[in-house]
Copies of this chain bind each other. A is one copy, B any other.
Amino acid sequence: MTEIKVVENIMKLNDSVAAEVRALLAERGVFAVNLIGSPGSGKTTLLERVLPKLAPLSEMLVLEGDIATTRDAERIAAGGIEAVQITTGNACHIAAHLIKRSLAQCDLSGRKYLLVENVGNLVCPAEFDIGEHAKIVVLSVPEGDDKPLKYPLVFQTSALCVLTKIDLVPYTDFSIARFKQNVEAVHPGMTIIQTSLRQEGGFEEVAGWLRSERTRLGAAA
């Protein structure tokens, strides 16, 4: 019973910091997404490919969450985009206070998009609001078409599903039709965009989704 209360309190504290972050971003006109996916699902590559198609690079800020190393932030920065590495030590997710602290060190003027790449993990990051406007779940073909059923929360709470590495379908047992059925079973009507680095497909579509989501939420605010 004590343990449960502690978890509740931690969650409440996180939610209140997340609300602060969301208010700050709204005030500055920044649309924020939280990318969640397993290690190696292709989150960093997605950012590398999508961001140059989205808007002037100066309008974007990327926060890279990792347990160790600064590799991902270096990859993004190499593309000319401002990137901040958040290393979480052993923590399996980014909590809202880490975003708040990172943003305090960043210049937000002229930024329209904040892209947070969470720690590679399909489980815990789905439970923590970090002040984003939308979560995006990134799943790669080799992970298997049954994953929406096995890890439902992240699919239920995300606005968009990006299915990566579709060029690997012929070499695996993955069925796109079965995957769509499984997504539909846990999140009816969910938008799915298929991408492939090797076939250079889908990235323009993801950029379009981000652009229209920003407009839609801006208009609604």
Contacts and interface: CB of A to CB of B under 8 A. Distances in A.
Interface of A: 3, 6, 10, 38-40, 66-69, 71, 90, 92, 119-124, 127, 140-144, 146-147, 149-153, 165, 167-168, 171-172, 198
14 contacts: A39-B147, A40-B142, A67-B151, A67-B152, A69-B149, A90-B127, A92-B92, A92-B124, A120-B123, A121-B122, A121-B123, A124-B124, A140-B142, A171-B171
Integer count of this chain's copies in the complex: 2
Contacts of A120: 38, 122-123, 150-151
A150 B168 CA distance: 24
- Chain B CB within 10 Å, residue with most, of A39, A141, A152: A39
Given A38-B143, A92-B92, 14 more contacts: A3-B6, A3-B10, A38-B39, A38-B40, A39-B144, A40-B144, A67-B151, A68-B152, A120-B123, A120-B150, A140-B142, A142-B168, A168-B171, A168-B172
